[in-house]
Each structure stands twice: as structure tokens, then as C-alpha cells.
Amino acid sequence: MNSTDPYPTPGPGPSGAPYPGPPHAGQPYPPQQPAGRRTFYRPARGRMLGGVCAGIADYFGWDRTVVRLLTVASLLLPGPQLLAYVVLWVLVPDEHKAAARAAQQAGYTGPYPAPSPGPSPTPPAA
């Protein structure tokens, strides 16, 4: 460790591999992999009309305002933009339905976790 290093490197990380520590000046952060598969849904909060633009922006990681402005600007051009918006509004599930579908696909069937098998409830023999 360098005594002038503002970010001392700690010991090994959770996997046992050495922790690289934060990057130094001019060194970019490593790209992060997505935690899981992204789902396309209309969010419950932050909607303006149907949530289609907010869903598109969230899915791709864009700014919602930019997507909304581009959608409104595209309405000035000839084409089926309004029809596409309505179709997406109908076909894309809202956040609650998407979460319920993901839980169902993961095998979750109720509001509580399944009970763990424990000792037998039968009384001891006399």
C-alpha cells in the first residue's frame, strides 16, 4: 500500500479474490453486468398518460422526459405512432401484473414462504 494512496485496498472480497478497490484517476469503473433479465412493463409511478414512454425509458435506461418529447415530436410526422402507442398501452403489462407473472414463473404461490419440514407433530408413544 502506498502511503499517499487515498483509497487503501482492503483485504479479500467475499469470493476470496482480492478486492480491486475504487479506480484511481483516469481509470474507469469496470462495466457492470445486469443482475438479471430485464422486463418491459409500464411503471405504476411516474406515468403521464399510459406509462408506455416511461416503460420504454426505464427498459433502455434513458431519460423519461427525452422519450416523451421524442414521442410527441414523432406525432408531427406521418405514420402510425399513435396506433403503436395505443397497442403498447394495451399489450404491455403494468408493473403489478409483471411482478405477479415473474413471481408465478419463479414458483411462488402465496403470500408467505412454504413451511419448512420440521419434527413430526405426532405425540410420542406411551
Residue ranges covered by each domain of the chain: 36-93
CA separation for the pair 16, 18 (Å, rounded): 6
Q: What does pTM read for this prediction?
A: 0.53
> Alpha-carbon distance 64 to 46, whole Å?
9
Question: For each of the chain's 126 residues, which pLDDT tens digit applies?
Answer: 555 555 555 555 555 665 555 555 555 554 544 556 678 888 888 888 889 999 999 889 899 999 999 999 999 999 899 999 999 999 988 888 887 777 777 766 666 655 555 555 566 666
What is the C-alpha separation between 34 and 6, in angstroms, rounded? 29
Q: Number of C-alpha atoms within 13 angstroms, CB side, residue 10? A: 7
Closest CA to 52 of 36, 70, 34, 35: 70
